[in-house]
Amino acid sequence: MKKEVINIYDIAEMAKVSIATVSRVVNGSDKVSEKTRKKVMAVIEEVGYTPNVFAQGLGLNTMHTIGLLVPTISDLYMSSAVYYLEEKLAKYGYDCILGCSGFELEGKQRQTDMILSKHVDALILVGSTYAGNGERVEDTDYIREAAEQVPVFVVNGNVQGENVFVTVNDDVKAVYDVTVQMIEHGHERILFLTDSQSYSAIKKRMGYEKALEDHRIPFRPELEMHVENTVHAVRDLLQNCNVAFDAVIASNDEIAVGALKYASKKGILVPDEIAIVGYNNSSIGIACEPELTSIDNHIEQICHETVERLIAVIERKEKNLEHKIVIPCELVKRGTTDF
């Protein structure tokens, strides 16, 4: 029999054992007697069989593969998260299957089904878009359905459900604190810019509005803007909106750089006349002039905690793992603020 047509089923038949036993042998399981192990290994060596990943997973209920789902890999936050997750998972011997779902519910459901069909050991959803906007619980039903098959871990989005575990930032406090600092340094017309209605964006807006309320600053609806997540689109929108403001808080660094571009084009001094704060503390924040003050959401730590919790569930079989952990943020001060 030629080597290329040998598979795990052939090995099991030739050694007169089950497929599960062959899988345990090639995975080094101690649940096989020495006599059986030698018999299976003799057949494997005789035919020159090389087990593939799928075959190794058979019988042990593990593929040593984790599904990663992001809305888009082009986003700096998403690509950074994928890098840190893959790096950490590799140290534990796990491969990854990556899917990009887009932001629409249909795409999320379709990509989740696709990844589950690959027999992954767990699923990680990266981004608060997977938590929806809190208005329709049914928009996250597909996550709870997935969790009936494998453990599901959500990065920076809170989804309730059995076998669902989330790691989130304290976005409310982070934006509350920076808004308070702006108010205490004389800024009263603080512009809040966001590109989504996701779980994280909602929490950031809550922090902004609570700080205004606590300091008796009138809430002005025109100072909350939904913008396109590109530098030039933000720049052009601010140039044409005819809204007066003396500070900007943006839900990510790219939007904040758009505000900085606007100020440069209008000849407005930063931070003397306008203070600007971004979010994510990404590389784009140090590629502009002046360098951007930004809220560091510690994405590396979030990914580290997510993988540690994943390993605790699928390898150590921990039963009482906390559903949700919260990672605090940190303001990294640079040249776009004077406080």
Beta-carbon contacts of 149 under 8 Å, excluding residues fewer than 6 positions away, are 116
Could you tell me if 239 and 265 are in contact, meaning their C-beta atoms sit under 8 angstroms apart?
A: yes
Confidence (pLDDT) at 294: 98
pLDDT at 58 over 60: no
Burial of 212 (0-12, 13-18, 19+ CB in 10 A): buried
- pLDDT at 71 (0 to 100): 96
- Amino acid residing at 127: G
SS3 state at 89: helix
Q: What percentage of the chain exceeds 90 in pLDDT?
A: 73
What is the C-alpha to C-alpha distance for residues 203 and 40, in angstroms, rounded to an integer? Answer: 56
pLDDT tens digits for 60-86? Answer: 556 689 999 999 999 889 999 999 999
> How many Å apart are CA 127 and CA 286, to the nearest integer?
23
- Reply yes or no on domain 3-57 having CATH 1.10.260.40: yes
Q: What is the pLDDT of residues 302-326, one digit of tens each?
A: 999 999 999 999 988 888 899 999 9
Confidence tier at 52 by pLDDT (50, 70, 90): low
Contacts of 105 (CB under 8 A, 6+ apart): 139, 142
Three-state secondary structure string covering 231-295 = HHHHHHHHHHCCCCCCEEEECCHHHHHHHHHHHHHHCCCCCCCCEEEEECCCHHHHCCCCCCEEE
pLDDT digits (tens, 9 = 90+) for 187-221: 999 999 999 888 899 999 999 999 999 999 999 99
The answer to whether domain 65-168+299-327 and domain 171-297 are alike in fold is: yes
d(CA 97, CA 91): 16
Domain boundaries, the chain: 3-57, 65-168+299-327, 171-297
CA distance 29 to 40: 13
Strand partners, 331: 295
Question: Which ranges constitute the DSSP H helices of the chain?
Answer: 8-15, 19-26, 34-47, 53-57, 76-91, 105-116, 141-146, 171-184, 199-214, 231-240, 253-266, 299-314
- On whether the 65-168+299-327 domain is CATH 3.40.50.2300, my answer is yes
Backbone φ, ψ for residue 267 (5° rounding): 75, 25
Give 3's pLDDT tier (boundaries 50, 70, 90).
very low
Cα(258)–Cα(169) distance, rounded to whole angstroms? 24
Q: Which CATH number among 3.40.50.620, 3.40.720.10, 3.40.50.2300, 3.20.20.140 corresponds to the domain 171-297?
A: 3.40.50.2300
CA–CA dist 306, 165 (Å, integer): 8
Task: Give the whole-angstrom CA distance, residue 320 versus residue 316.
Answer: 11
Residue 56 has pLDDT above 70, yes or no: no
- Cα–Cα distances (Å) from 259 to 45, 142, 292, in that order, read 65, 37, 11
- Answer whether residue 253 shows pLDDT above 60: yes
d(CA 122, CA 85): 13
125-172 pLDDT, tens digit each: 999 999 987 667 889 999 999 999 999 999 999 999 999 999 999 999
Predicted model pTM: 0.80
Q: Please give the C-alpha separations between residue 316 and each of 30, 309, 323, in angstroms, as whole numbers.
A: 16, 10, 16
Q: Which residue has the higher pLDDT, 32 or 176?
A: 176
